[in-house]
């Protein structure tokens, strides 16, 4: 039952997500798969490690196949090359049963994921609350209290 509830939630997220959010979700899943592979490697669980690496490869392949090389131009080409490099490193990690390639791929995925997460539309900025330290735009902070000494400015907390 737990899996079906999780699957339903995930399906709902995917169906309501915009394209950037879908890419971010793929990165999160790839990062999770690589982290899982590292845990299984440390625990000596060969089959589980291999399965987690395969899942990470599948996700990176999905990211690679989703690239629009015509509209994406140089960025798409560079991402494509990065994805190919990550796939080679994941395969090396699996064949050599080595953690270093997994760590490298994890770092690359995390860095690129941060960039994609930054593309998301930011929330509307909120006006700052008025405080004794606010001053008009263009006004120098010292001008806000012109003519007042330090002793005459009351600070309340």
- Residues of the chain short of pLDDT 50, as ranges, are 131-136, 139-157
Residue 124 lies inside a defined structural domain of this protein: no
- Domain carrying residue 6: 2-119
Residue 149 lies inside a defined structural domain of this protein: no
Residue 83 lies inside a defined structural domain of this protein: yes
Residue 21's pLDDT is what? 85
Residue 89 lies inside a defined structural domain of this protein: yes
Residue 14's pLDDT is what? 55
Residue 91 lies inside a defined structural domain of this protein: yes
Residue 4's pLDDT is what? 75
DSSP class of residue 133 equals T
Q: How far apart are CA 76 and CA 25, in angstroms?
A: 19
Joined together, the tokens standing for residue 1 give 């039952």
Residue 77 lies inside a defined structural domain of this protein: yes
Could you read off the pLDDT of 56-71 as tens digits, one per residue? 999 999 999 999 989 9
Residue 87 lies inside a defined structural domain of this protein: yes
The Cβ of residue 61 has, within 10 Å, a number of other Cβ atoms equal to: 14
Residue 55's pLDDT is what? 98
Could you read off the pLDDT of 61-99 as tens digits, one per residue? 999 999 998 999 999 999 999 999 999 999 999 999 999
Total of domains in the chain: 1
Query: What is the reported pTM?
Result: 0.69
Q: How far apart are CA 27 and CA 18, in angstroms?
A: 15
CATH code for position 37: 1.20.120.340
């Amino acid at each position: 039952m737990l899996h079906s509830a999780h699957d339903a939630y995930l399906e709902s997220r995917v169906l309501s997500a915009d394209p950037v959010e879908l890419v971010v979700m793929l990165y999160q899943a790839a990062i999770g798969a690589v982290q899982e592979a590292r845990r299984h490697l440390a625990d000596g669980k060969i089959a589980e490690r291999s399965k987690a690496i395969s899942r990470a490869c599948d996700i990176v392949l999905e990211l690679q196949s989703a690239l629009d090389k015509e509209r994406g131009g140089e960025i798409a080409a560079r991402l494509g090359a990065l994805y190919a490099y990550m796939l080679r490193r994941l395969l090396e990690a699996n064949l050599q049963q080595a953690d270093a390639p997994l760590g490298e791929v994890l770092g690359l995925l995390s860095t690129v994921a941060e960039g994609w997460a930054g593309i998301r539309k930011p929330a509307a900025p909120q006006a700052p609350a008025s405080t004794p330290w606010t001053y008009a735009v263009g006004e120098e902070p010292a001008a806000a209290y012109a003519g007042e000494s330090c002793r005459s400015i009351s600070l309340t907390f």
